Amino acid sequence: MTVIGYNLVRQSNSHHKDSYSPQTDELSYNIIGNNARFVLLVLIMDNNQVVVKEEGKVKVRFVTNDPNIRVTEIAFGVPERIGRLGLSELVNHLRSEEDTTQHKPFDFLINGQFIRTTLDKHIKKAGLKEEDTITIEYVEAVTEPKREQENQHDDWIASVDGGSLVGLALTGGYDFGARIVDCSANTLITAVGHQAAIKSVAWTKAAKRSHLAFLTASLDQTIRYWHADADAKTVQPMCIFKAHQGSVESVASNPDGTRFASGGYDNKLRLWDLQNLPQPQPQQQPNKKSRKNGAIASSTNILEPSIITESLSTLEKHSQPITTIDWPTQFQLISGGMDKSIRLWDLETMSDTQTMMASTALHVVSYSIDSGLIASGHADHTIRLWDPRIRDGKFNIGSLLSHKNWVTSISWKPGSSTQLLSASHDGTVKLWDTRSKVPLFTIEKHTDKVLSCDWLSNPTDSSNPYIISGGADTKLKIYNN
């Protein structure tokens, strides 16, 4: 006995039939009325005879928080074997969208978990009863970006920061330089001065194009602080911070840009002040364009950055190199490292208040202000989710598995408590929703390891930020719809 197809029968005054394909999980409706009754007919081949069997129904109610896509919340029956695409088509028809080109893809959740199988399987797995009315929440589905732009760098891109408010990306890499790139992939400014690769970059002020400030941390054991004007296309190194005794792997600014933290291969987490810094001093430099007659060359004033050798505080709890830092609130700092620990620091007492241990080394931690969760990326290809508010010690509340190599970068979507980006040595960037075990989509545009990813503000549509990523193929990618 073999199932060869389905028919979805709309029983109403017009006795209209619509088709359903199990291969594509697609429904085709022409008319849906309030009094319509749907029955799924299963077509079965038995001894070369087609046998029609009526399939069961589940009573559901559709709800959404988005008034622009809201449909009736009256409960009605749907085929129990319907899946995500079939539900999406149903909602589109309930929205009276007769023009199929205007149909939107939707995602569906039951009790906060995405439906990724047929409805009956999801209900069974969730321990629900098919006899009850099932409330299904629906949201507009997130689709992979259609547009891609790129900015060519001279070497690997190790770090990107899209946290400016004016649509400017900050990058740093193995060409020893940092760049400011606009959302059209144009390089506006290049900052040079480090004697080795830049491992981490961070904006400290990025609300106005004409008043920008940022940090770069390097394999040369220093951090540099810069001022820039994107309109005038000028940049000035303001200060060099020297205290680490190894590569500085991560740097992060506090929310108001008055302090920053750095960590690296000396296992030390250092805090620095960005207020009341000594000003750069003019230094006489001979002008390279001397006269042909051999006269003494003229000189120009070049501002030399001041040098700071003592940090505000040094926090020494990590037993191996610190690879990642996040400073999400004024009074709490998060660090992670090769010792497999995630540490939460109270900056009033300068003590680590919580330690969460992973099974493998960490490459990145990212804190969500909206959900209170921490996401971490690891060498075992895993993204782990942590809830530091749990008091029984079982902080690890879940894992996201899809990457095929080291997870190098994670960034929560601004304003979202569930969506985050990840990048990996497998060459991909993935968008996740923590309510699903599979990624919403995977971007496979890089040709080598991806080392960093982030969200970049969209000056024309704040609700639709760009995605940016960079890595070993030396290209900064900018994606949007």
Write down the domain spans for the chain.
Answer: 2-140, 147-280+299-480
Q: What percent of the chain has pLDDT over 70?
A: 84
Measure the CA–CA gap between 213 and 203, rounded to whole angstroms. Answer: 6
* Cα separation values, 380 from 403, 426, 427, 434, 438, Å: 9, 12, 15, 19, 17
pLDDT at residue 301, as a whole number: 53
pLDDT at residue 336, as a whole number: 98
Q: Lowest mean pLDDT: which of 202-211, 262-271, 406-415, 457-466?
A: 457-466
Q: Render pLDDT for 417-428 as a digit per residue (tens, 0 to 9).
A: 999 999 999 999
Residue with tokens 């919580």: 354
Position 2 confidence tier, pLDDT thresholds 50, 70, 90: very low
Give 127's contacts (C-beta < 8 A, 6+ positions apart). none
Position 131 confidence tier, pLDDT thresholds 50, 70, 90: confident
CB 240 within 8 A of CB 305: yes
pLDDT at residue 97, as a whole number: 62
What average pLDDT score do residues 321-338 get?
Answer: 96
User: Side by side, which strands form the sheet with 450-456?
Assistant: 147-152, 475-480, 466-471, 450-456
The answer, yes or no, to whether residue 414 has pLDDT greater than 90, is: yes
Mean pLDDT, the chain, integer: 87
Q: Where are the beta strands (DSSP E) in 209-258?
A: 211-218, 222-229, 234-242, 248-253
The answer, yes or no, to whether residue 356 has pLDDT greater than 60, is: yes
pLDDT at residue 98, as a whole number: 59
CB 445 within 8 A of CB 408: no
pLDDT at residue 103, as a whole number: 87
Burial grade of 165 (CB within 10 A; 0-12, 13-18, 19 or more): middle
Measure the CA–CA gap between 429 and 443, rounded to whole angstroms. Answer: 5
CATH superfamily of 147-280+299-480: YVTN repeat-like/Quinoprotein amine dehydrogenase (2.130.10.10)
pLDDT at residue 47, as a whole number: 55
The answer, yes or no, to whether residue 102 has pLDDT greater than 80, is: no
pLDDT at residue 286, as a whole number: 56
CB 142 within 8 A of CB 440: yes
Measure the CA–CA gap between 197 and 158, rounded to whole angstroms. Answer: 9
The answer, yes or no, to whether residue 323 has pLDDT greater than 50, is: yes
Position 55 confidence tier, pLDDT thresholds 50, 70, 90: low
User: Side by side, which strands form the sheet with 382-386?
Assistant: 362-367, 374-378, 382-386, 396-401
The answer, yes or no, to whether residue 205 has pLDDT greater than 90, is: yes
Rounded to the nearest 5 percent, the helix, strand and coil shares of the chain are 5, 50, 45
Measure the CA–CA gap between 155 and 176, rounded to whole angstroms. Answer: 9
CB 235 within 8 A of CB 193: no
Domain 2-140 has CATH 3.10.20.90: yes
What average pLDDT score do residues 142-154 get?
Answer: 95
The answer, yes or no, to whether residue 467 has pLDDT greater than 80, is: yes
User: CA nearest 185: which of 169, 172, 174?
Assistant: 169
Q: Where are the beta strands (DSSP E) in 57-186?
A: 57-63, 76-79, 106-110, 113-114, 134-140, 147-152, 157-161, 168-173, 177-182
